Amino acid sequence: MTVVPDVTRKVTLAIPNGLHLAPISRIVESAGQFESRIGIEFDGKTADARSVYDLMLLAATCGAPLLISAEGDDAEEGLRAIAAILESPSQETAERS
């Protein structure tokens, strides 16, 4: 059995209205495609990326510094996918059109 180390990455939340239901839904859907456990930390609170409730409780606003961590065989891929959602304001803009 191969031991896979944790991977972490600091990102800045770029979604104009912060974490709300639409981006949270994308995060939960994306996290569900990976076997790895993925967490997002903000202001001393950690959320499971597969939990809408946990993510809502973060109450992270645009510009918030977030720490994403992942553990498992596909941790790198999972971390990249979640980071792409959090760092991309374009999804938010597309939702308003």
Would you list the domain boundaries of the chain? 7-96
**20, two tokens:** 């709300």
The answer to whether 65 and 12 have CB atoms below 8 angstroms apart is: yes
Instruction: Write out pLDDT tens, residues 9-36.
Output: 999 999 999 999 999 999 999 999 999 9
Give the pLDDT confidence score for residue 2 in this predicted structure: 53
Give the pLDDT confidence score for residue 91 in this predicted structure: 58
Give the pLDDT confidence score for residue 28 in this predicted structure: 98
Give the pLDDT confidence score for residue 92 in this predicted structure: 46
**16, two tokens:** 């104009």
pTM score: 0.86
Residues marked active site are found at: 20
Phi and psi of 33, rounded to 5°?
Answer: -85, -5
**1, two tokens:** 């059995």
Give the pLDDT confidence score for residue 9 in this predicted structure: 96
What is the percent of the chain where pLDDT is above 90? 85
Segment among 41-45, 63-67, 86-90 with least mean pLDDT: 86-90
Instruction: Write out pLDDT tens, residues 73-84.
Output: 999 999 999 999
Q: CB burial class (10 A; 0-12, 13-18, 19+) of residue 44?
A: exposed
CATH superfamily of 7-96: HPr-like (3.30.1340.10)
